[in-house]
């Protein structure tokens, strides 16, 4: 509850797949004046993502899939390398375990939440929960690939190669860069 905000009007613009609204509110500025502002919010729920890593082999498991919104904004073939991720329909840990199995085929033991972040706070309501989890070859129970219309490629690669791909721009997904940098700065694979 923030007493500097008075919501005046909420209008639904679209609820085709996720929910887009525009809200008019008054906000009490630092100078003591109430000013009227309108903001659109795109609500697609919250999400979770995980960096799967193997310490002895110093490898990580990432995914690769077609992301249409990137295709219309400068990503030539629309393919994106990402950490495994999914939208939440349960608590974040339960969801990320299920998503890991569906997308990568790994059924992993311990997972650890490392941080939470709003990824696009000017317009998208989503909060993303970030996990890390160690995988091993014996945890692989299927090929992964996703469900329904998903067509997800599973990539296992050396951690140093993934870091190199961040530097070269071959990896250009925010959550993926954040988790790889976390792994580097925290010495997760050392
Ligand atoms: N028909 C239809 N289907 C959609 C649409 N948008 C998404 N879907 C379907 O909804 C499902 C979402 O898959 P998830 O694996 O649960 O989510 P995600 O798209 O991988 O999202 C994850 O990554 C995002 C990007 O970084 C994150 O924003 C999100 O929080 C999550 O972590 C997929 O089957 C996708 O095809 C749409 O506009 N229309
Ligand atoms: Mg996904």
Mean pLDDT, consecutive 10-residue stretches, the chain (190 aa), reads 95 97 97 97 98 98 98 97 96 96 95 98 98 95 91 97 98 98 98
Position in ligand 1 atom list of the atom nearest CA 126? 30
Angle of CA points 118, 164, 131, to nearest 5°? 35
pLDDT at 139: 93
Report which protein residue has its CA nearest ligand 1's atom 17.
Answer: 86
Top-level class of domain 47-186 = alpha beta
What is the model's pTM? 0.96
Which pLDDT value is given to residue 148? Answer: 87
User: Can you point out the beta strands (E) in the chain?
Assistant: 5-14, 19-28, 34-43, 47-54, 59-66, 79-82, 84-87, 111-118, 127-134, 153-158
Q: What is the ipTM of this complex?
A: 0.94
- Residue 1 confidence (pLDDT): 85
* pLDDT score of 53: 98
Residue 152 CA, ligand 2 centroid: distance in Å: 8
From 87, 93, 127, 153, the mutation candidate for ligand 1 (largest count of ligand atoms within 8 A of CB) is 87
- Distance (angstroms) between ligand 1 centre and the Cα of 63 equals 14
């Amino acid at each position: 509850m923030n007493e500097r905000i008075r919501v005046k009007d909420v209008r639904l613009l679209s609820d085709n797949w996720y929910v887009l609204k525009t809200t008019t509110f008054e906000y009490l500025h630092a100078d003591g004046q109430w000013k009227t502002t309108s903001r659109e919010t795109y609500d697609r729920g919250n999400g979770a993502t995980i960096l799967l890593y193997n310490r002895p082999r110093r490898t990580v498991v990432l995914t690769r899939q077609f992301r249409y919104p990137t295709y219309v904004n400068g990503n030539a073939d629309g393919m994106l390398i990402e950490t495994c991720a999914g939208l939440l329909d349960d608590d974040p840990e339960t969801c990320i375990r299920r998503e890991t199995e569906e997308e990568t085929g790994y059924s992993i033991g311990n997972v650890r939440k490392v941080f939470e972040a709003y990824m696009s706070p000017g317009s998208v309501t989503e909060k993303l929960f970030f996990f890390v989890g160690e995988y091993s070859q014996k945890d692989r129970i299927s090929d992964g690939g996703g469900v329904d219309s998903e067509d997800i490629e599973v990539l296992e690669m050396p951690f140093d190669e993934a870091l190199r791909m961040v530097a070269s721009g071959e990896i250009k997904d925010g959550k993926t860069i954040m988790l790889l940098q976390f792994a580097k700065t925290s010495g997760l694979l050392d």
